[in-house]
Amino acid sequence: MVKGRFLGACLLLLAAALADGEGEEGKRGVPLLDAGRLEKFMDELPDMPVLRGYGVAEGGNLVAGELAVGMYDTMWKFHRDLPATRVFAYGASRETATVPGPTIVAMKGVPTRVTWTNHLPPHHILPWDRSLAAARVGNAAGIPTVAHLHGGVQQSTSDGHSMAWFTSGFATTGPHFSSPAYEYPNQQLPGNLWYHDHAMGLTRVNILAGLLGAYRVADPAAEAPLGLPSGAEFDRNLVLFDRDFRSDGALFMNATGNNPDVHPQWQPEYFGTAVIANGKAWPFLRVRRRRYRFRILNASNARFFRLSLSGGLRFVHVGSDSVYLARPVPTEGFLLAPSEIADVVVDFAGSKHDAVTLRSDAPAPYPGDPGEKADTVAVMKFVVGSKLEHDPSTVPATLMPRYPKPDTREAVVTRHIAMYEYTKNGTDEPTHLYLNGAAYTDPVTETPREGTSELWEVINLTDDNHPLHVHLAVFAVLKQRSLRRVDEFRDCMRGGASGGAGGRNDALACGMRRHLAGGRRHVVPRQERGWKNVFKVRPSTVATLLVRFKPLEESSATASGKSGRFPFDVTAGPGYVYHCHVSIKQKTIAQFIKLCQTVFM
C-alpha cells in the first residue's frame, strides 16, 4: 500500500502593485535617487545580529531553543549619504530589527522553536495590487505575512505555506494558518539556509521591504575537523540584493504598467540600481592576508549575480545551497540566481593588491538578449591588510563524502514539469504562467511517495532563466539540454500558437525526445553537481533532476523509526510546494511567482 503521496496542483503567487492609496501613493512628488551618484565603499560591511537557536542546560547539554522573532516597521540606513529608509524588518524587538534580519544559528539534531509575530502597520510601504488574488480577506486592513525556512526539513505546518499567513494581532488569518509557533527539527546535515516572507500575493513586496534573513545548521563534530575558516571574523554570511530609492531615502518600486492595454500597473521584474550587501550599499570589509569563508546568498527578487574578484583571486566552493560539496571546487567566477547560496573560501594571502573588488557582470534581466554584454558592476570592496600572518585554517581535499551519490536506478517514476507563458490575445505580453498547464485549483498531478526518488524532466518554454526551488526535498542535476524548433514544441504543448490553459501538455506526445535530438548539452557547473534545492533552468531547455523525497542522511530519520522516512509526519497538511524563485518574470506582465502545491497523503 502506498503510504505517502504528494498532491501537486499549480498556484499563482501574485505579487504586483497597489491601487488603493498605500505605499507609493504619497511619494509621487519625491524624485528618484540616482544611486550611481552615491559614493561607493563608504560604509563598513555590518555583521548581522546572531540569535542562538538552541539552549544550553546545566552540564553543557544542548536543548531546544525558544525564540520570538517579530516583523517590525522601522528605519534602516542603507548608505552614509542616504536618509534613513522605512523598512519592514525581522528582529527580537523593534529596536534590534535589521535588514537583513538576524542570523539564526541552529545545531544539528537540536530543535529550534520560533514564534513569529507580526507588528506591521495596517498599510504597506510599497505598492500592492489588491485587484489580484492574494493573502487577504476582503478589504481588511493589515499586512499578511508568513515565514518560510528555505532549505529547511520540517513538517508542513512549520514550512510557511503561502496561505498560512496572518496579520498583526491575528486580526485575519489565511485558510491554512494553525499557529505562529514553528518548530524546526534541524535533523538535517549542516549547511546554509535562509528565511523570508512567503505570503500569497505579497512575497515580492514583503521581501523588497526587508523581510529576509540567514539561518545556519551547524554540526561542530563534523565541521571542526575540516579546518575551514571559523569564528565570527573569518566565517561570514554575505546577503546580496538590489534596491531603488527616492531622494528622501524611501524604497521605490515602479507601479506604472508598461502596457496599459493589459493592466495599468503590472510591471516586469524588479531591478534596483543600488547593490546591497548585508544591508549596506556597496560596503567595504577590512580583511587580513589569510583565508575567509563567505556564505553568499542572493536575496534579490530577480537579479542574477555573476560574481568574480579583481586581481585574479579565486573562489573555492565548499557548499551549494544547504549542502556541503563532497570535494572543494575552485572557480574564477560563478553565477548565483535569486534564492541560491554559494559557500566559498577566499584566500587574501595571494592578493597582489591592497584592495579587491567583488563584482558582477550578469545581464539584468538574465540571460538577456543573445550576444548582449552586460556592464560590470561593483558589489563590495575588500581592503586587504599589509602583513602576511599565520593562518591555521585550510581547505581539505575531501569535505563531506558520506552523502549518497545520485543513482537513477532509485527513481520510481519520471515526470515532465513544463513551464510556459500565456499571452493576452493580440499582444505578445504574457499575462500568466502555469506549470503543466494547470491552475492551483486543478486536480493533482504530482504524487511522489515518501522514501523514494523520482526523475523530473523540467521543461522551460519561456524566455527566462528560472531558479527552481523544491520545498522539503533535495535534488541532483543530472543534465540540461537545449530544445530544437522550440516554437513548434511549445505550440503543441500549449494547444496552439495562441496558447491558453488546457493545452495538450504531453511532452512525449509532442515529441520532446525528437526536439532534444541534436540539441546543445549544457555543462552543469562542478560546484552545482551535489545535492541542491535551487537550480537555474535555462530558457528553451530540459533539465533532468533526480528528486529525493527522503532524508540525505539515514540517521536523520532514525528518530521516527522509519528507514528512508522523515522524522515527522509528512502526510499532515497543508503540504509543501515547488516553484520558481524569481518573483517577477522578464516580459511577464502579471507579476507573480509560480507555485505548485505538493501535499503528502
Say which residue the cell 516572507 belongs to.
197
- The pLDDT value recorded for residue 260 is 67
Q: What is the CA radius of gyration of the chain?
A: 23
Interior angle at CA 108, CA 105 and CA 113, nearest 5 = 60
Give the chain's mean pLDDT. 87
Task: Tell me if 530 sits within 8 A of 326, measured CB to CB.
Answer: yes
Neighbour tally for 130: CB within 10 Å = 16
587 confidence band (pLDDT: 50, 70, 90): very low
* Cell numbers found for residue 242: 538590489
Cα dihedral: 402, 408, 411, 414 (round 10):
140
* Cell numbers found for residue 14: 501574485
Q: Model's pTM, two decimal places?
A: 0.92
289 confidence band (pLDDT: 50, 70, 90): very high
CATH class held by domain 38-219: mainly beta
Encode pLDDT of 148-194 as tens digits: 999 999 999 999 999 999 999 999 999 999 999 999 999 999 999 99
What is the mean predicted confidence (pLDDT) over 117-146? Answer: 84
Instruction: Annotate 314-346 with DSSP letters as a single string.
Output: -EEEEEETTEEEEEEEEESEEEE-TT-EEEEEE
- The pLDDT value recorded for residue 181 is 98
Cα–Cα nearest to 430, from 592, 254, 205: 592
Encode pLDDT of 407-426 as tens digits: 999 999 999 999 887 776 66
Cα–Cα distance for residue pair 53/105, rounded to 1 Å: 5
pLDDT at residue 557 above 70?
no
Cα dihedral: 239, 271, 96, 215 (round 10):
-30
Cα–Cα distance for residue pair 96/74, rounded to 1 Å: 10
The ranges of the chain annotated as CATH 2.60.40.420 are: 38-219, 235-388, 408-598
Say which residue the cell 583565508 belongs to.
291
Encode pLDDT of 522-538 as tens digits: 999 999 999 999 999 99
Question: What percent helix, strand, coil does the chain show, rounded to 5?
Answer: 10, 40, 50
CATH of domain 408-598: 2.60.40.420
521, with CB counted inside 10 A (0-12, 13-18, 19+), is exposed
Q: Mention every residue, 6+ apart, whose C-beta is less than 8 A from residue 348.
A: 287, 288, 289, 290, 291, 292, 313, 356, 382, 384
Cα–Cα nearest to 51, from 95, 90, 77: 90
For domain 235-388, the CATH superfamily is Cupredoxins -  blue copper proteins (2.60.40.420)
What is the mean predicted confidence (pLDDT) over 279-304? Answer: 98
589 confidence band (pLDDT: 50, 70, 90): very low
Encode pLDDT of 559-580 as tens digits: 545 668 899 998 888 888 888 8
116-125, 207-216, 371-380 — which is least confidently predicted? 371-380
